[in-house]
C-alpha cells in the first residue's frame, strides 16, 4: 500500500475513534440517559454493587439526611412523582450560593442502573438563609422501576466507583387510590430539648378524638420525659418518629428570619420536613394537616374533622388547600375557678391547655397567619403558612367553622383578661380527654396509676 494511502487510512481510524469518544461525552454533558446494566459489567463489579446495596440497606432506610459527596448539599428522601411522568423527586437541602450540576444514578434492585442529569428547583421561601428546601428532579427512562437512587456531582463518565455513592430508597412507587388513613398530621420539628409533656399529651389525645389516625414528627432533640411519651405513642401505633439530626450537618436556626436569627437553615429545616412529610403521606392519607404540636386545628361547627371536611368538600369540590386561621390563647391567663387545675398533673412538665380559655382578638391591620389542611396529591411545594405550588383551588375556612387553638406566649401581652374573648371549646371534650391523657401519662411511666 502506498505511503499516502497508509497515512490516510490511519487518520481515518483515529478520526473515527475520536468521533465515537466525543459523541459519548457529549451525550453525558447534555443530560441524555446513560444505561448501566449489570449484565454488561464484570462479575466483580456486579458483586460490589450488590454488596454496596446490602451494606447500606439498614442505614439507608434509617438515615434521614445524606451529604452529597464533594458538594455542600444534602439529599433527604426520594419519591416517584406519578404526576410528572413518573419522574423521581429527591427532597434536598441545597446551598443556594454553591450551585453546581448534579446527576442522578437510579437502579432497579441492582439489575439495571441509569444515569441522567438532574434539574434543581430551590423553593422560593428560604427566608434569606444560605440553605433552602429544594427538589432535585430526575427525569429519564424507566424511572418508574427504580428502587434506589444516588445523587452525584459527577457525570456518568466521571464516576469511577458506584460503591462510593450513597443510595436512597425510592418511595411512592405505587399510586394507591385507597388510603390507609383519613387524617395525618405532619409536625415539623422538635429541637432544643423540648419537654412540654402535658400539652403534647393533651394535643395528641385531642387529635385522636377529632379523628386523626397518624402523626409524623421530626425529632432533633427533646427532653427525657417527652421521649418517654413519644415512645408510648410510637408503640401504640399512632406516632411515627423520623430522626432529624440536622444539627450534625449544619448550624440550624431557631428562628425564621435570616436577618434576625443566626444559622444556616430556617427553623431547623422546617420547610424541608414539611415537604418531606407531604410526599411521605401522599398515597397513605386522604388529608394531611400541617401544623405545630402546640396548635390544634379545631372544628367549631362540627364534632370532628371528618364531618368538617365532608361539609367543606361538598361546598368547595375543587379546593385542595384549606387555610385555617391561627388564634392565640395566652398561657399567662388562667381560668379563674381552677376547674382543671388538677393535682394529678402538678409534677408533669408543660402547659395545661384546659386552663387557658382566653383568646386574643384579631390584631388591627394584620391578617391572622394560617396553617393548612391539604390534599397531598395536589401539593407540589409548601411553605409554612401557605402553598407554594399546587393544583386546585385555595379556600380560607371561616372562623366560626374551624380555627386553630394555639396556647403559647401572648402576642398582645398588654391586653387584660377583660379584653380577651372566652373560648371554652376544649372543655367540650373533658369527659373523654382527661382520662385519656391520664392513661397515656401512666403508660409512659410519667404518672402513677391510682391505687
pLDDT given for residue 164 in this prediction: 82
* Residue 405 CA: distances (Å) to CA of 302, 370, 422: 15, 12, 12
The residue ranking higher by pLDDT, 314 or 45, is 314
- Cell numbers at residue 184, please? 395525618
- Cell numbers at residue 24, please? 459519548
pLDDT tens, position by position, 172-227: 999 998 999 999 999 989 999 999 999 999 999 999 999 999 999 999 999 999 99
Band of residue 367 on the pLDDT scale cut at 50, 70, 90: confident
H runs (alpha helix) in 262-369: 270-280, 305-315
Percent of the chain at pLDDT > 90 equals 78
pLDDT given for residue 420 in this prediction: 98
Strands (E), 333-444: 358-359, 370-374, 379-382, 387-390, 393-396, 402-408, 421-422
Strands (E), 102-145: 103-107, 112-117, 119-122, 131-138
Residue 408, SS3? Answer: strand
Amino acid at each position: 500500500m502506498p505511503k499516502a494511502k497508509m497515512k490516510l487510512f490511519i487518520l481515518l481510524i483515529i478520526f473515527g475513534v475520536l468521533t465515537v469518544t466525543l459523541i459519548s461525552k457529549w451525550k453525558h454533558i447534555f443530560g441524555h440517559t446513560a444505561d448501566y446494566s449489570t449484565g454488561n459489567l464484570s462479575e466483580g463489579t456486579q458483586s460490589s454493587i450488590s454488596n454496596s446495596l446490602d451494606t447500606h440497606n439498614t442505614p439507608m432506610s434509617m438515615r434521614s439526611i445524606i451529604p452529597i459527596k464533594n458538594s455542600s448539599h444534602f439529599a433527604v428522601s426520594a419519591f416517584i412523582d406519578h404526576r410528572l411522568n413518573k419522574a423521581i423527586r429527591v427532597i434536598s437541602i441545597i446551598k443556594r450560593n454553591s450551585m453546581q450540576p448534579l446527576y442522578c444514578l437510579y437502579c432497579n434492585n441492582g439489575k439495571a442502573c441509569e444515569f441522567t442529569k438532574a434539574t434543581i428547583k430551590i423553593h422560593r421561601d428560604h427566608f434569606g438563609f444560605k440553605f433552602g428546601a429544594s427538589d432535585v428532579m430526575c427525569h429519564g427512562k424507566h424511572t418508574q422501576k427504580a428502587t434506589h437512587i444516588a445523587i452525584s456531582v459527577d457525570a456518568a463518565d466521571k464516576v469511577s466507583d458506584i460503591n462510593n455513592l450513597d443510595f436512597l430508597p425510592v418511595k411512592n412507587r405505587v399510586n394507591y387510590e385507597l388510603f390507609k388513613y383519613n387524617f395525618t398530621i405532619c409536625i415539623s420539628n422538635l429541637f432544643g430539648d423540648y419537654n412540654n409533656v402535658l400539652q403534647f399529651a393533651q394535643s395528641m389525645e385531642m387529635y385522636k378524638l377529632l379523628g386523626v389516625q397518624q402523626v409524623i414528627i421530626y425529632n432533633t432533640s427533646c427532653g427525657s420525659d417527652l421521649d418517654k411519651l413519644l415512645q408510648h405513642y410510637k408503640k401504640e401505633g399512632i406516632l411515627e418518629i423520623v430522626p432529624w439530626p440536622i444539627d450534625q450537618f449544619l448550624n440550624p436556626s431557631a428562628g425564621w428570619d435570616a436577618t434576625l436569627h443566626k444559622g444556616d437553615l430556617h427553623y431547623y429545616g422546617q420547610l424541608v420536613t414539611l415537604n418531606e412529610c407531604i410526599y411521605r403521606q401522599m398515597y397513605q392519607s386522604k388529608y394531611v394537616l400541617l401544623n405545630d404540636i402546640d396548635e390544634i386545628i379545631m372544628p367549631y361547627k362540627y364534632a370532628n374533622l371528618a364531618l368538617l371536611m365532608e361539609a367543606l368538600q361538598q361546598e368547595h369540590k375543587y379546593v385542595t388547600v384549606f387555610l385555617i386561621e391561627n388564634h392565640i390563647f395566652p398561657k399567662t391567663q388562667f381560668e379563674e375557678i381552677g376547674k382543671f387545675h388538677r393535682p394529678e398533673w402538678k409534677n408533669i412538665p408543660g402547659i395545661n391547655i384546659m386552663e387557658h380559655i382566653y383568646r386574643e382578638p384579631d390584631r388591627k391591620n394584620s391578617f391572622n397567619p394560617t396553617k393548612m389542611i391539604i390534599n397531598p396529591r395536589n401539593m407540589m411545594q409548601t411553605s409554612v403558612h401557605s402553598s407554594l405550588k399546587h393544583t386546585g383551588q385555595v379556600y380560607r375556612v371561616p372562623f366560626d367553622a374551624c380555627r386553630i387553638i394555639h396556647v403559647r406566649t401572648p402576642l398582645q401581652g398588654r391586653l387584660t383578661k377583660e379584653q380577651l374573648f372566652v373560648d371554652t371549646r376544649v372543655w367540650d371534650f373533658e369527659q373523654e380527654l382527661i382520662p385519656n391523657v391520664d392513661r397515656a401519662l401512666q403508660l409512659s411511666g410519667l404518672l402513677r396509676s391510682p391505687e
